[in-house]
Amino acid sequence: MKEILNIKNTKERIDRIEDILASVASGDMDARINSEIEDDFSGIEAAIDLLINDLTDELRQRENMQKELENKLSKIQDQQKTILQQQEDLLELSSPVSKVWDNILILPVIGTLDSQRTQVMMENLLQKIVETGCTISILDITGVPTVDTQVANHLLKTVTAARLLGAECIISGISPAIAQTIVHLGIDLSAIRTKATLQDAMIFAMKQNKRADEVRALGNLALPNEKTD
């Protein structure tokens, strides 16, 4: 029993350490033991203080980093919102349907088509057909560089849907490259009326208009005849 530990007020100091540790654990990072007594136990107390200091620094750093990350995240989210908004605007802008003549709608398509854009186009065109009551619509794809299977399918669907509504849809301006792709892909466009240029389509549409008028006139003439039958 040579070595006898020189510790004063053991009970109180251990209690104090416990208190400090408890308050640190509950979030009070300013709590320190700060013992003024110099003996065998004070080393441990100093070590605990140092550990608490380190812990506080680490926590501060982490908080700062988190804040930074949150800032960046919100910035990115803002940017994403803008991009989405612009995409929507672009979609709206990219499918203008205009009535150019009695009974005739034109939808000029410029740029590369993807499924989403063709979907919006289809909806816009059908909506416009119902709104205006035009029975002939021209889908001009002169400004489209390439077409893939999905897009060709969508175009087919658009034409079929227009037919279901009771309107005719003409596709004009199919470029040599697109014609090649469509035939290579094995897509059958024979059920769809296609014209070389927008001009041809326009002429065809106006002829259809004229014919409809003539038939209407004929019908009006035929009605009185019917009564004499």
Chain positions contacting another protein, by CB under 8 A: 122-123, 126-127, 129-130, 133, 135, 157, 160-167, 212, 215-216, 218-219, 222
Judged by beta carbon, residue 179 or residue 215, the one nearer another protein is 215
HEC secondary structure over the chain: CCCCCCCCCHHHHHHHHHHHHHHHHCCCCCCCCCCCCCCCCHHHHHHHHHHHHHHHHHHHHHHHHHHHHHHHHHHHHHHHHHHHHHHHHHHHHCCCCEEEECCEEEEEEECCCCHHHHHHHHHHHHHHHHHHCCCEEEEEEEECCCCCHHHHHHHHHHHHHHHHHCCEEEEECCCHHHHHHHHHCCCCCCCCEEECCHHHHHHHHHHHHHHHHHHHHHHHHHHHHHHHC
Judged by beta carbon, residue 61 or residue 127, the one nearer another protein is 127
Judged by beta carbon, residue 106 or residue 162, the one nearer another protein is 162
Q: Shortest distance, CB of residue 163 to another protein, whole angstroms?
A: 6
Judged by beta carbon, residue 78 or residue 123, the one nearer another protein is 123
Q: Shortest distance, CB of residue 127 to another protein, whole angstroms?
A: 5
Judged by beta carbon, residue 49 or residue 168, the one nearer another protein is 168
Q: Shortest distance, CB of residue 193 to another protein, whole angstroms?
A: 15
Q: Shortest distance, CB of residue 26 to another protein, whole angstroms?
A: 60
Judged by beta carbon, residue 29 or residue 156, the one nearer another protein is 156
CA atoms of 33 and 58, how far apart (whole Å):
19
